[in-house]
Structure 1
């Protein structure tokens, strides 16, 4: 009896111990389960937030321009790594899978100027077209033949800045010194000639400019126009040296062509007339220079206007005016550098915009009687 009682007690102790061990195991399993679930939830939430963040621009407010080179033959994996390293995207892997999800491929190799504020869709569009694609908040279009004052009016219409603020900035000593030091091959002391009305006249290139910041500064509006002129003129550096012509002379000459131009005009032939006159010391006698001298537009230049004493009046002063009278486009610039070889000294435009050239004054009068007086 005593032996049986001892065995029962021993069995009871083992059962009790197993129950306790079972409770401990269940507690451990429960705690591990809670920890695992918490980890899964944390990873899920963190992962979701990370992915959402990686799908957004690196810095929506950034205007920093970053040069990105995509080599020939680059696949999406390589491109993603380049973009991440350049700071254009946050995560290469997410960008790669985003591109695949969007079924985007056939990306273009080349050099891109991108910003950290671009969206993934904008980046993909850029890589597909070979051009940087981004929706601007504002564009400013400067047509050919505009003067600084006219550009100031355009800026006033498109921005918060007035024409007066624009003119004050482009004519400020500080700004002029800054652009002269930044673009030494574009600007020389010629623009500081005391006879020049506005030193930067003719140096703001006619084109459409896009801006991505609503609070863009005046400098950020003006400098791209100057930079574009520098870029365009740089393409003709060797030809300028060959013709022994300065940039200032080129832009001045081209501005006369721009203002004389009609839709059907032959600028190369008009350029030949100007060159022929310059060669023999004959005044250029171009009406747009008179209008610039007068400081305003007139439907018709009167005989008395031709006598106005002003450095820009090419009727009373031989040679080119002291500086450009407008901003010339590429067509006029190229015409100034590549004139037609003629012996013409005169030209006039009829009512339809067609030009008629003459070698002598007598021939010019005949053209005038035929195409102007008989209209």
Structure 2
């Protein structure tokens, strides 16, 4: 609507400008509505062309710098879920949610600052319809997936408001995820699979400089049909899924614990950041199939024999 109004105003300006340059009689006025008419002078044609170029330039700039139609309407609609007006009488609070935080950890931080209750936040991510976000819509439905939006609550610093609706708080993360996660891809993997892998890389790496090497190990294992056997997936089951710490039955250890399940876990085990997503999409080129961490450093091996030898060397075998 806004672009249509701008086009109308600029078209009127074009007609008016040309009219002023050719005002002699009624017949000349008709020529203003017919640019092919020979009655338009060279000067007026030049002025018309110049204004037309200005219009085209303006529209080109607008289309390149402005958000998409859906984003634009989102920014102007105060009631759109995910970006509403702040609650009346609320207080703005800036909160940072680090890479690797889980859904439960995010909920706990929100509750600690009176944004919303942790339980309500988690419930909203499970039951609220966020399918207008393409990333969310593309998540395949599965009864084996514990938390649908785990992995898609993009880590960043946000301005939250006290007493927000939980779905509005979740919407802030999802809007950000759309801008960051969608740009990553790896041949043969869906975006959701990439996010799952990135979440494991996030929790298995000591720092961002390790991530591409860790990624190479997991990619190599996946290509060979081997289990990932990542300790972080077992820990996720213990602390966030299985009773008594989590709400899910014991069967979920077969869906998430990569010592038990084949390939990737049923869902992401945390919310990965840009470095982990990039590592999942661009692993280092290696032949490594194993690694372990000792004294804050990762050690990589190509064979099980080499792996076990290194573990014994560090007193871990």
Q: Is the 8 A contact 1:343 1:359 kept in 2?
A: yes
Aligned counterpart, 1:248: 192
In 2, distance between residues paired with 1:204 and 1:160? 16
Aligned counterpart, 2:281: 337
Q: Is the 8 A contact 2:208 2:276 kept in 1?
A: no
Q: 1:157 aligns with which of 112, 126, 131?
A: 112
**Higher relative CO (CA 8 A, sep ≥ 6), structure 1 or 2?**
2
- 1:95-174 residue pairs with structure 2 within 5 A? 137-172=92-127
Q: Is the 8 A contact 2:222 2:263 kept in 1?
A: yes
Q: Is residue 2:144 matched to residue 1:207?
A: no
Q: Is the 8 A contact 1:186 1:247 kept in 2?
A: no
CA spacing shift, 1:283–1:218, aligned 2, 3 Å:
same
Q: Is residue 2:174 matched to residue 1:226?
A: yes
TM-aligned CA deviation for residue 319 of structure 1: 0.5
TM-aligned CA deviation for residue 225 of structure 1: 0.2
What secondary structure does 1:310 align onto? Answer: helix
Aligned counterpart, 2:229: 285
List gaps (5 residues or longer) in structure 1: 1-65, 67-109, 116-135, 298-306
Cα deviation, 1:229-281, whole Å, max 9, x if unaligned, reads: 11102323xx44xx132111011000000110113751111111111111111
TM-aligned CA deviation for residue 310 of structure 1: 2.4
TM-aligned CA deviation for residue 214 of structure 1: 4.4
List gaps (5 residues or longer) in structure 2: 3-64, 77-90, 242-250
Q: Is the 8 A contact 2:217 2:289 kept in 1?
A: yes
TM-aligned CA deviation for residue 189 of structure 1: 4.5
TM-aligned CA deviation for residue 287 of structure 1: 0.6
In 1, distance between residues paired with 2:155 and 2:188? 25
What secondary structure does 1:281 align onto? Answer: coil
Q: Is residue 2:165 matched to residue 1:217?
A: yes
TM-score, reference length from structure 1: 0.55
Aligned length: 227
TM-aligned CA deviation for residue 168 of structure 1: 1.6
- 1:1-375 residue pairs with structure 2 within 5 A? 137-172=92-127, 175=128, 178-180=129-131, 182-190=132-140, 192-211=141-160, 213-236=161-184, 239-240=185-186, 243-263=187-207, 266-296=210-240, 309-351=253-295, 353-373=296-316
CA spacing shift, 1:350–1:148, aligned 2, 3 Å:
same
Cα deviation, 1:289-310, whole Å, max 9, x if unaligned, reads: 111222349xxxxxxxxx9942
Aligned counterpart, 2:39: none
Larger Rg: 1
